[in-house]
Amino acid sequence: MDLTLEAYRKIIDTLPEGLYIVDRRKNIILWNQAAEQISGFNQEEVMGRSCADNLLCHLDTSGVNLCRSDCPLSLTIAHGTSSDTEIYLHHKNGHRVPISARITALRDDEGEVIGGVMAFSDLSGKADNDLRLKELEKLALLDRLTQIANRHYLERELEARLEELRRYGIPFGVMFMDIDDFKHVNDRYGHDAGDRVLQFVAGTFSSNSRPFDLYGRWGGEEFVGIARNVTGADLKQMGQRLRKLVEKSFLLIDRVKLQVTISIGATLATDTDSITTLIQRADALMYQSKAAGKNRLTLR
């Protein structure tokens, strides 16, 4: 028995991977349920619109907006080739989600390219993060607004990592991060928008963290990241990646893109550090980033 179009759509909606199809103009003509779950955008919000129209806005690992340059879908449609890539999509809530994508050409019966298909998987370690959230909720160690670790839990983690460093020599680093000009966001767009900015910045951290690292809200618009078993070069690379991802993320407020940046102070812990000295050093380095022009990382 031949399958109907509706039957094919139902099969596509059961796929664990996100999948969407575009025509030659890159207008979305099919969007499955997994794509909705990974991106936050439902079918009504995307169908018939260009995938680059303030929607997914893919970035590569260097923070380049692929929708304005080497878009994998555009290249596939133009040349009829397939490709695999790891990129970052824009989530409806504002943060960036790392994905693994497979892009193939869509052809008609004569073999002519009439569009493209992207199948993608979430690489953010969502299962690990969900488990961590449940554990934090039980221990009342979750920041209610941003849904990441609160200051109390960060302090406990720092104490544990310092003890691990002293006893076993396992290195770790700390990043102290502050949203630049956050008061201006609240003054211009209101505190509800400010809360949403805090949420998408936190979402960027949690979606792009390794399972054994921890990110939390220290207070106000300040965040702390604790990265285990890293060198100074590792810490710099991680911080720069997060900085670029936040810079390239945005919220739509009355059809206007609201974007923010962060300044970062990063440092490796020593076996003579306490929580106070470690945070003070990272905080001072963060202020050096502010003084140097903001939206940058200072490492020592």
Q: Cite the active site residues.
A: 221
Q: Counting beta carbons within 10 angstroms of the beta carbon of residue 221, is it exposed (0 to 12), middle (13 to 18) or buried (19 or more)?
A: buried
H-run or E-run covering 105: strand 96-107
d(CA 198, CA 90): 16
DSSP string, 230-284: --HHHHHHHHHHHHHHHHT--EEETTEEE---EEEEEEE--TT--HHHHHHHHHH
Outline where 87-226 has alpha helix (H): 126-138, 151-168, 182-189, 191-207
What the block records as the tokens of 25 is 């103009």
d(CA 95, CA 14): 26
- Beta-carbon neighbour count of residue 119 at 10 Å? 20
